[in-house]
Structure 1
Amino acid sequence: MPPQTRGTALRHRLAELRGPDVPAKALDARALAALAANPGCRRRAILDGAGVDKTALAGALGAPSAFGQSQFALTRGNAFEAKVKADGGAELLRLVREHLDPEAESTGRAAAVPDLSAIGPEGRTARTALALREAATAAEDGENSEGGEGSESGKGGQGGGWVLLDHPMLALEVAGSPAFLEPDAVVVHPDGSWTVVEIKSFPMLDGSADPAKVGAAARQAAVYVLALEEVAARLDPAPRVRHDVLLVCPKDFSNLPTASAVDVRKQRAVTARQLARLTRVQDIADALPEGTCFAPDLPAEQLTAAVEAVPATYAPECLSACELAFHCRQRSRAADEVTTLGRAVRAELGGLATVEDVLSAARGESGDAADPAVAALRRAAALRAEALGVPCP
């Protein structure tokens, strides 16, 4: 089947899974980052690939999710972002120079802030691509005109000036459809390279932030890096997209901005692999029973059967990343699965998939004594019995 025909068939199949006349929910960077955080979950892959509204689906299943930011957190985040970008982004550019490009400190040129407004996401995406192309051309022209021998500006490799793109719009193809992404900012350095900026409202205390929140921000920024690389690949020569993104947060308990460079190469690689798997979402769809549909207005029994037809890989981390987490947790607990205890515990237990299997192995009722996991469980049971002064099971 030709690729174009195959893509049309896939889009038709995904529309059937969403339900008749149900519009597709657009993927954003948070959703794509969450996919990378749990790449083995086929349920999330097919639901996101089909554009299913998981919030509405969770409510229809009787397990509504509290996933998402509170209104207070959104307001606080917006106020902090406005502070960081005030005065033409002077403070933001200072942080970029300090943490990512100290060699550019001597440039005295004011930053350019192009107007990125346009009609619709497609228009904004095109306007962003044009602004990036113009910045790359200016940097190249600057290098050619100022980078001669003996030139002081050429000495530092400074070709053009700083350019700040405030809330640009990027597009990334996911499962044959464009996902429109909106980073907080993209900075074009005087040497023509591009940096993604993530502005978050959680604090950096004594120079470090919550590792879990930093990890989530890094995965989200990696999605933007991938989208920027697609824009850069269409230019000749292709500008360098930096893999060190700038994470800007409040300093300690104040509202003053501070920043840290975060290397997202690992997160970028994981996200790229997961997106490549999403392009083969047809394989998951083909394995579903005929007539499977995730439309939220279906009867609860039919909807539950449709969701359960797709295997899920639940872990406690899903509670902060997926709207269906409460439903999947209920099912995981009902099935006595050890994944409810976390991925680390699941990895240590090897082939023991249920809590009953674990307890049985610890009691010596089942399992191979040569299995390291079984041996460790029996040793732990013996130590527990010894500490409590009870007979060893």
Structure 2
Amino acid sequence: MSESLDSGPPPPTPTTALRQRLAELRGPAARPRPLDARALAALAANPGCKRRALLDGAGVDKGALAAALGSPMASGQSQFAFMRGNAFEARVKSDGGAELMRLLGVADPTGLQLPDLSAAGPDGRAARTALALREATTAKEWTLLDHPMLALEVAGSPAYLEPDAVVVHPDGQWTVVEIKSFPMIDASADAAKVGAAARQAAVYVLALEQVAARTEGAQVAQSVLLVCPKDFSNLPTASVVDVRKQLSVTRRQLSRLTRVEDIAATLPQGATFDLERSGDELMAAVDSVSAAYAPDCLAACEMAFHCRAAARTDGDISALGRSLRGELGGLTTGSAVLAAARGEAGDPRDPAVAALRRAAALRAGALEAAGCR
């Protein structure tokens, strides 16, 4: 008995230990940056980047970190665009959700339920959302959840997601609603923006599926309702977007992410991303975690300029694009590619090496014919 009393406090659980470790990496004065669906979609698009997985898992402000390293990214959405987006969303949800239900195809939304989802902290809000979803499914009534909170574990670290809205149908189906401020002109929107919205919505669907698995009679729709301004007006219009492909890719890619605690365990002793540290210390900590840079990162990650500079310095072929990197196989640097093309290195039976030597020969022949040699 005395031994148990004198043994001290119990060791922290793995979850608590992980949170403490991530707080140390972030810095004692830094508040964690929450993972959102856009960040998770970017992670799913590049699951091999351990640097982003760790920084996002630790809640590090990547924009501030990049600025401290001397590679700041351009500022994000303008204040005007932000205010316009909020005003459009308020219009879509006006009249107690009647306009949104009309876009969903419900002519008479009488009796529409609007549950209160307020609670303390993200854990409380996620629990309250799960309860509201279960209650709505049991009641078999049209229910609109405005900015629900969903929880999703990513690489061993929890992420809290907040879709614009989720509609529960009387038959138990749950539909994600994604509201965007880019226009839908002649019933068609910019393909790249629609694709980004679909990838983001797929993350919400994935998180909803985990709640639906514990709710009898619930089924998550594999399509989402995308609401945008019509033509050049501020009138809302909607389109149903199938996200089955994005959902499959997101599920597979997120499952490939290395767990955050495994990445953190490989860091040198004392490594931290605390912005109070010197630039040299931050540089050493960042460079101790491997990155998987590709040009796509420029549109999705605040650390892209820093990672691009490092990739160029190392001669990493990935800086030229994933498709080229895939075609070159085991040739991972510019110097290795040039050596293979000149016949100084590489296995001639390798298709990539053979193609490079053939291209070098054709180039040399063309230059000689043009009198350039």
TM-score, structure 1 length as denominator?
A: 0.82
- Which of 94, 98, 102 is equivalent to 2:102? 94
1:100 is aligned to: none
- Which of 311, 317, 327 is equivalent to 1:338? 317
The C-alpha deviation readout for 1:225-284, integer Å capped at 9, x for no partner, is 12222222332x140011211222233444333333223234334433454455722221
Unaligned ranges ≥5, structure 1: 98-104, 140-159
1:143 is aligned to: none
Give the stretch that moved more between structures: 278-287 or 316-325: 278-287
Corresponding letter in the other structure for 2:52: R
> 1: distance between equivalents of 2:357 and 2:289?
35
Corresponding letter in the other structure for 2:282: L
Secondary structure of the 2:219 match is coil
The C-alpha deviation readout for 1:132-153, integer Å capped at 9, x for no partner, is 22211111xxxxxxxxxxxxxx
Shift of 1:175: 5.0
2:38 is aligned to: 30
Give the stretch that moved more between structures: 60-69 or 382-391: 382-391
1:15 is aligned to: 23
Shift of 1:317: 0.8
Corresponding letter in the other structure for 1:370: R
> 2: distance between equivalents of 1:298 and 1:376?
48
> 1: distance between equivalents of 2:11 and 2:296?
36
Is 1:224 matched with 2:232?
A: no
- 2:50 and 2:289 in contact (8 A); partners too: yes
- 2:101 and 2:109 in contact (8 A); partners too: no
> 2: distance between equivalents of 1:273 and 1:319?
23
1:367 is aligned to: 346
> 2: distance between equivalents of 1:392 and 1:10?
62
1:127 is aligned to: 128
Matching of residues 89-168 of structure 1 within 5 Å: 89-97=97-105, 109-139=110-140, 160=141, 162-168=142-148
- 2:137 and 2:170 in contact (8 A); partners too: no
2:7 is aligned to: none
> 2: distance between equivalents of 1:176 and 1:200?
30
- 1:116 and 1:168 in contact (8 A); partners too: yes
Give the stretch that moved more between structures: 67-76 or 43-52: 67-76
> 1: distance between equivalents of 2:28 and 2:72?
23
- 2:144 and 2:166 in contact (8 A); partners too: yes
Shift of 1:176: 5.0
2:6 is aligned to: none
Q: 1:286 to 1:124 in 2, by over 3 A?
A: closer
Corresponding letter in the other structure for 2:44: A
2:180 is aligned to: 200
1:180 is aligned to: 160
Secondary structure of the 1:214 match is helix
Q: Pairwise CA RMSD of aligned residues?
A: 2.8
- Which of 55, 68, 86 is equivalent to 2:63? 55
Corresponding letter in the other structure for 1:303: L
Aligned length: 363
> 2: distance between equivalents of 1:177 and 1:370?
45
> 1: distance between equivalents of 2:146 and 2:71?
37
- 1:42 and 1:310 in contact (8 A); partners too: yes
Q: 1:204 to 1:274 in 2, by over 3 A?
A: same
TM-score, structure 2 length as denominator?
A: 0.87
Corresponding letter in the other structure for 1:310: V
Corresponding letter in the other structure for 1:323: E
- 1:175 and 1:281 in contact (8 A); partners too: yes
> 2: distance between equivalents of 1:266 and 1:4?
40
- 2:156 and 2:261 in contact (8 A); partners too: no
Is 1:323 matched with 2:279?
A: no
Is 1:283 matched with 2:291?
A: no
Q: 1:287 to 1:124 in 2, by over 3 A?
A: closer
Shift of 1:187: 0.9
Q: 1:176 to 1:387 in 2, by over 3 A?
A: closer
2:4 is aligned to: none
2:149 is aligned to: 169
Shift of 1:180: 2.3
Shift of 1:94: 2.9
The C-alpha deviation readout for 1:164-221, integer Å capped at 9, x for no partner, is 2221222223455543221111111121210111111223344443333223222211
> 2: distance between equivalents of 1:291 and 1:281?
17
Unaligned ranges ≥5, structure 2: 1-9
- 2:184 and 2:229 in contact (8 A); partners too: yes
Q: 1:365 to 1:49 in 2, by over 3 A?
A: same
2:192 is aligned to: 212
Corresponding letter in the other structure for 1:188: V
